Amino acid sequence: MANPIQEIVEKQVLTVAKAMEDKLDEEIASLEKLDEDDLEVLREKRLQQMKKMAEKKKRWMSHGHGEYSEIHSEKDFFSVVKASQRVVCHFYRENWPCKVMDKHLSILAKEHIETRFVKIQAEKSPFLAERLKIVVLPTLALIKNTKVDDYVVGFNELGGKDDFSTEDLEERLGRAQVIHYEGESSLKPKSTTQTRRSVRQSAVSDSDSE
């Protein structure tokens, strides 16, 4: 005896598959109808999009995007925030948790050039620390259009430990929409052990070499 529920599911699957097939056929047919003029318009449109993106990237790079840098004064903080639409600012002190955060931010700064990544020493920025209510370090201030929109305080949202991955932080910044993030990491695929590796070892080796 046939299972009525299974039959319903199979019919629904076939209906969805048929709809997808019809949609694809429509797209192929529309492409086949394009003449040389239509294709030239599409190419020109694409070329203009690429030019605009190249200009935007050039402007970002001129404002310090693409690298993780330190702000040395509170005055510089306001200049940075005014110059870039999206800024991730790490309020830090010279301690181990902040070094862990530095490692991840250095990687993300290179991957997400649409956002400016900076750090500022909290103890030397009393006005900013008080105004932005910075208490726990590290704290990331996530800034959009000159306003602090969100915070990442300590490691609580990153698993509560210092062995979180760069992808974990990337996802959190993506949820805050302070970086372009569509659900997949921009970082190169790695094995599980590499992806979730602790930054502790590389940070220690760096500090030893300094």
Q: What are 39-74's pLDDT values in tens digits?
A: 777 888 888 888 888 888 899 999 999 999 999 999
Cβ neighbors of 159 (< 8 A, separation 6 or more) are 168
Q: Is residue 188 scored above 60 in pLDDT?
A: no
Per-residue pLDDT tens for 90-109? Answer: 999 999 999 999 999 999 99
Q: Is residue 183 scored above 70 in pLDDT?
A: yes
pLDDT of residue 70: 98
| pTM metric for this prediction | 0.70
- Is residue 132 included in any domain, yes or no? yes
Residue 172 sits in a domain of what CATH number? 3.40.30.10
- Is residue 120 included in any domain, yes or no? yes
Span 15-39, mean pLDDT? Answer: 75
- Is residue 49 included in any domain, yes or no? no
Using 50, 70 and 90 to split pLDDT, how confident is the model at 27? confident
- Is residue 27 included in any domain, yes or no? no
* Domain count for the chain: 1
- Is residue 85 included in any domain, yes or no? yes
- Is residue 95 included in any domain, yes or no? yes
First CA to last CA distance, the chain = 76
| Nearest C-alpha neighbor of 165 from the set 143, 140, 191, 142 | 191
Give dist(CA 143, CA 150) in Å, integer: 7
- Is residue 74 included in any domain, yes or no? yes
Query: How many residues in total does the chain contain?
Result: 210
Alpha helices (H) along 36-175: 36-62, 74-83, 96-111, 126-131, 166-175
| Nearest C-alpha neighbor of 152 from the set 131, 130, 129, 175 | 175
> Structural domain of residue 124, as residue ranges?
66-176
The helix (run of H) or strand (run of E) holding residue 142 is strand 139-144
pLDDT of residue 115: 98
- Is residue 42 included in any domain, yes or no? no
Q: Are 134 and 91 in contact (CB under 8 A)?
A: yes
pLDDT of residue 5: 67
Using 50, 70 and 90 to split pLDDT, how confident is the model at 23? confident
